[in-house]
Amino acid sequence: MRTNYKNREPTRSIRAAALIGVGVMAAVDEIIFHQVLAWHHFYDGATPQIALLSDGFLHAAELVALVAGFFLLLDLRRSDTLDTGRAWAGFFLGLGGFQLFDGIVDHKVLRLHQIRYVENLLPYDIAWNAAGLILLAIGWVLLRRNRMEG
Protein backbone atom coordinates (compact mmCIF):
# COMPACT_ATOMS: atom_id res chain seq x y z
CA MET A 1 0.00 0.00 0.00
CA ARG A 2 1.44 3.34 -1.00
CA THR A 3 0.02 6.52 0.45
CA ASN A 4 -0.03 9.82 -1.35
CA TYR A 5 3.27 11.70 -1.31
CA LYS A 6 2.04 14.35 1.10
CA ASN A 7 1.34 11.85 3.89
CA ARG A 8 4.37 9.55 3.57
CA GLU A 9 7.20 9.51 6.08
CA PRO A 10 10.10 8.16 4.02
CA THR A 11 12.84 8.55 6.63
CA ARG A 12 10.84 6.81 9.34
CA SER A 13 9.91 4.04 6.89
CA ILE A 14 13.58 3.50 6.04
CA ARG A 15 14.69 3.46 9.69
CA ALA A 16 11.94 1.10 10.87
CA ALA A 17 12.59 -1.40 8.09
CA ALA A 18 16.38 -1.11 8.50
CA LEU A 19 15.96 -2.12 12.13
CA ILE A 20 14.08 -5.21 10.96
CA GLY A 21 16.81 -5.94 8.40
CA VAL A 22 19.48 -5.73 11.11
CA GLY A 23 17.45 -8.09 13.31
CA VAL A 24 16.87 -10.59 10.50
CA MET A 25 20.53 -10.71 9.49
CA ALA A 26 21.63 -10.99 13.12
CA ALA A 27 19.23 -13.91 13.48
CA VAL A 28 20.57 -15.59 10.33
CA ASP A 29 24.16 -15.13 11.55
CA GLU A 30 23.44 -16.31 15.05
CA ILE A 31 21.27 -19.31 14.14
CA ILE A 32 23.23 -20.60 11.16
CA PHE A 33 26.84 -19.71 11.93
CA HIS A 34 26.82 -19.67 15.73
CA GLN A 35 24.40 -22.51 16.50
CA VAL A 36 23.93 -24.85 13.54
CA LEU A 37 27.47 -24.76 12.11
CA ALA A 38 29.12 -23.81 15.46
CA TRP A 39 31.77 -21.83 13.61
CA HIS A 40 32.09 -19.23 16.33
CA HIS A 41 30.30 -17.36 19.10
CA PHE A 42 29.70 -13.64 19.36
CA TYR A 43 32.68 -13.39 21.70
CA ASP A 44 35.26 -16.17 21.51
CA GLY A 45 37.95 -14.65 23.72
CA ALA A 46 36.96 -16.29 27.01
CA THR A 47 35.42 -19.45 28.43
CA PRO A 48 32.75 -21.49 26.61
CA GLN A 49 30.20 -20.23 29.16
CA ILE A 50 31.02 -16.60 28.34
CA ALA A 51 30.85 -17.41 24.62
CA LEU A 52 27.34 -18.85 25.04
CA LEU A 53 26.32 -15.89 27.20
CA SER A 54 27.52 -13.51 24.48
CA ASP A 55 25.38 -15.41 21.93
CA GLY A 56 22.43 -14.99 24.28
CA PHE A 57 23.00 -11.23 24.38
CA LEU A 58 23.21 -11.15 20.57
CA HIS A 59 19.96 -13.10 20.37
CA ALA A 60 18.26 -10.73 22.81
CA ALA A 61 19.46 -7.69 20.85
CA GLU A 62 18.24 -9.22 17.58
CA LEU A 63 14.79 -9.84 19.08
CA VAL A 64 14.61 -6.27 20.42
CA ALA A 65 15.53 -4.95 16.95
CA LEU A 66 12.87 -7.10 15.28
CA VAL A 67 10.09 -6.22 17.73
CA ALA A 68 10.95 -2.51 17.79
CA GLY A 69 11.21 -2.38 13.99
CA PHE A 70 7.85 -4.09 13.51
CA PHE A 71 6.16 -1.81 16.07
CA LEU A 72 7.54 1.23 14.25
CA LEU A 73 6.47 -0.15 10.87
CA LEU A 74 2.98 -0.98 12.15
CA ASP A 75 2.65 2.51 13.60
CA LEU A 76 3.49 3.97 10.19
CA ARG A 77 0.95 1.71 8.55
CA ARG A 78 -1.71 2.57 11.13
CA SER A 79 -1.18 6.30 10.56
CA ASP A 80 -1.23 5.73 6.78
CA THR A 81 2.28 7.18 6.42
CA LEU A 82 4.20 4.03 5.50
CA ASP A 83 6.30 4.40 2.34
CA THR A 84 6.60 0.75 1.31
CA GLY A 85 9.17 1.38 -1.43
CA ARG A 86 11.54 3.10 0.96
CA ALA A 87 10.79 0.54 3.66
CA TRP A 88 12.05 -2.23 1.33
CA ALA A 89 15.14 -0.15 0.65
CA GLY A 90 15.68 0.24 4.40
CA PHE A 91 15.25 -3.49 4.94
CA PHE A 92 18.03 -4.32 2.47
CA LEU A 93 20.23 -1.52 3.86
CA GLY A 94 19.78 -3.05 7.33
CA LEU A 95 20.62 -6.55 6.09
CA GLY A 96 23.76 -5.44 4.30
CA GLY A 97 24.78 -2.95 6.97
CA PHE A 98 24.72 -5.60 9.69
CA GLN A 99 26.60 -8.10 7.56
CA LEU A 100 29.31 -5.64 6.57
CA PHE A 101 29.65 -4.32 10.13
CA ASP A 102 29.98 -7.89 11.42
CA GLY A 103 32.48 -8.87 8.75
CA ILE A 104 34.71 -5.83 9.09
CA VAL A 105 34.27 -4.42 12.59
CA ASP A 106 33.44 -7.53 14.65
CA HIS A 107 35.72 -9.95 12.78
CA LYS A 108 38.67 -7.80 11.74
CA VAL A 109 38.83 -4.59 13.79
CA LEU A 110 37.60 -5.76 17.20
CA ARG A 111 38.49 -9.43 16.64
CA LEU A 112 35.50 -10.52 18.74
CA HIS A 113 35.22 -13.74 16.82
CA GLN A 114 36.43 -15.53 13.73
CA ILE A 115 35.59 -18.82 12.13
CA ARG A 116 37.22 -21.70 13.91
CA TYR A 117 38.28 -24.79 11.98
CA VAL A 118 39.23 -22.84 8.85
CA GLU A 119 42.85 -22.15 8.05
CA ASN A 120 42.41 -19.73 5.15
CA LEU A 121 39.83 -17.10 6.14
CA LEU A 122 40.18 -15.02 2.98
CA PRO A 123 37.51 -16.83 0.90
CA TYR A 124 35.03 -16.65 3.78
CA ASP A 125 35.80 -12.97 4.43
CA ILE A 126 35.43 -12.11 0.74
CA ALA A 127 32.13 -14.01 0.42
CA TRP A 128 30.66 -12.60 3.65
CA ASN A 129 31.61 -8.99 2.93
CA ALA A 130 30.73 -9.22 -0.78
CA ALA A 131 27.27 -10.52 0.16
CA GLY A 132 26.92 -7.56 2.54
CA LEU A 133 27.92 -5.16 -0.21
CA ILE A 134 25.41 -6.75 -2.61
CA LEU A 135 22.62 -6.35 -0.05
CA LEU A 136 23.64 -2.72 0.53
CA ALA A 137 23.69 -2.14 -3.24
CA ILE A 138 20.17 -3.57 -3.57
CA GLY A 139 18.98 -1.23 -0.82
CA TRP A 140 20.72 1.74 -2.43
CA VAL A 141 19.19 0.98 -5.86
CA LEU A 142 15.73 0.63 -4.33
CA LEU A 143 16.21 3.90 -2.46
CA ARG A 144 17.32 5.77 -5.59
CA ARG A 145 14.47 4.35 -7.62
CA ASN A 146 11.94 5.39 -4.99
CA ARG A 147 13.42 8.89 -4.71
CA MET A 148 13.15 9.30 -8.48
CA GLU A 149 9.49 8.20 -8.39
CA GLY A 150 8.87 10.97 -5.86
User: In this predicted structure, what is the pLDDT of residue 146?
Assistant: 87
In a 3-state reduction of DSSP, which class is residue 83?
strand
d(CA 39, CA 20): 24
d(CA 33, CA 35): 6
pTM value is 0.89
List per-block mean pLDDT (blocks of 10 residues) for the chain, which spans 150 residues: 60 97 96 86 82 89 97 96 96 98 91 78 91 98 86
Any idea where the domains of the chain sit in the sequence?
Answer: 10-149
